[in-house]
Amino acid sequence: MTAIPTQPRGRLLTEITRWPGSLKIGTVLFVLICLAGIFAPWLTPYGPNEQDLKNTLVAPSLAHPFGTDNFGRDVFARVLYGIRINLPFGIITTYVPMIYGVVLGALAGYWGGWFDAILMRILDVTVAFPFLVLIIVIVAILGPGIHNIYIAIFLTAWTMYARLARAEMLVERNKDYILAARTLGYGTGRIVFRHALPNVSNSSIIFSTSDFVLNIMLLSGLSFLGLGVAPPTPEWGAMIAEGRDFLFDAWWICTLPGLALVVTGTALCLIGDGLAQRLGERRHALV
């Protein structure tokens, strides 16, 4: 019944061959994007904030594959360096809240009682706020800047995971293997974390890829609204916002960073779609 495969190392390759096509393609794309971010200095001769006032608003060419912006900065270089901001942000804001969200939700589902009641009330309140509105309110109170966005997301993003894990735990806790663990006299910690957690985190793992996309989009959206990272940081959303003023003369400044967002998001969606298939298959195969 283990949902997350814990394969011996030698079997990783056989596991990969069983992946659905979407998972393979998504993973390859995602790894390529990560590598492009890591090796950005080797992939472009320009720095992200290197201005060349003689070559402003140059259309895409061999020298500047994505053109240059109003300060003569190379858009391609900025997009590459942007990976270093957007991807780590996405990873941290997705997986940190996921960890405590799933744990809280699983415990609430397992224990029930007052703990569950309090958690549910909190979830009720956060669900009545549109997510972006809540973040904007928090950022408005704390002031703009990437640190405050982190705080805002840590305060809110766990709720969805708690909801998912709680719902699955409610089903899971009545299954025979949990009862068996109980009759064996295992403690709550062992039952919840060793036995149930792998099974209640499936939907959270699948949701996390969409959440990842949403979080990257959120950072870009906030930067676009002027509440995110400050210029001249090469963040994709901020680049789109800056390019907006030159929409007419230089379409590449805001459309091409957007394309980077779309490619990254699509890679993550493909991974999510493939994971859903693979984890679903495992479940079907094992039930």
Partner 1 sequence: MNVVSFIASRLLQMVPVLIGVSIVVFLAIHMVPGDPVELMMHGRATPEGLAAARAELGLDQPLLVQYWNFISGAVVGDLGTSIVQKAPVSEVVGERILPTVLLLVMSSIFAIALALPLAIVSARRADQPIDHAIRLGGMIGFAMPPFWIGIVVMLTFGIWLDWFPISGYGRTFWAHVYHLVLPSFTVALFLAPILLQSLRAAILDVMTADYIEVARAKGLSERRILVKHALRNALIPVTTILAVNIGWLLSGAVVVEYLFSFPGLGSLLVRAAGQRDYAVIQGLSVTFAVLVLVVNLIADLACMAIDKRVARA
Residues of this chain that interact with partner 1 (CB under 8 A) are: 121, 124-125, 127-133, 136-142, 210, 213, 217, 220-221, 224-227, 237, 240, 244, 247-248, 251, 254-255, 258, 261-266, 268-270, 273
Tell me whether residue 181 or residue 225 sits nearer to partner 1 (CB atom): 225
User: Token pair 């080797």 is at which residue?
Assistant: 42
The nearest distance, CB 180 to partner 1, in angstroms, is 32
Residues 239 and 66: their CA atoms lie apart, in Å, by 13
Q: 208 or 220: whose CB is closer to partner 1?
A: 220
Least separation in angstroms between residue 271's CB and partner 1 is 10
Euclidean distance between CA atoms 173 and 200, whole angstroms: 10
Tell me the two tokens of residue 175: 């299954």
**Closer CB to partner 1, 178 or 241, in the complex:** 241
State in angstroms the smallest separation of the CB of 282 from partner 1.
Answer: 19
Of 40 and 271, CB closest to partner 1: 271
> What are the helix (H) ranges across the chain?
12-17, 21-38, 40-43, 75-111, 113-128, 131-142, 146-156, 158-172, 176-183, 188-189, 197-200, 202-224, 236-243, 252-286
CB of 240 to partner 1, least distance (A): 6
The residue (of 192 and 242) whose beta carbon lies closer to partner 1 is: 242
CB of 30 to partner 1, least distance (A): 12
SS (H, E, C) 149-182: HHHHHHHHCHHHHHHHHHHHHHHHCCCHHHHHHH
In the complex, the smallest distance separating the C-beta of residue 121 from partner 1, rounded to whole angstroms, is 7
- Torsion angle of the four alpha carbons 145, 153, 25, 34, in this order, in degrees rounded to the nearest 10: 40
Compare residues 205 and 271 and give the one whose CB is closer to partner 1: 271
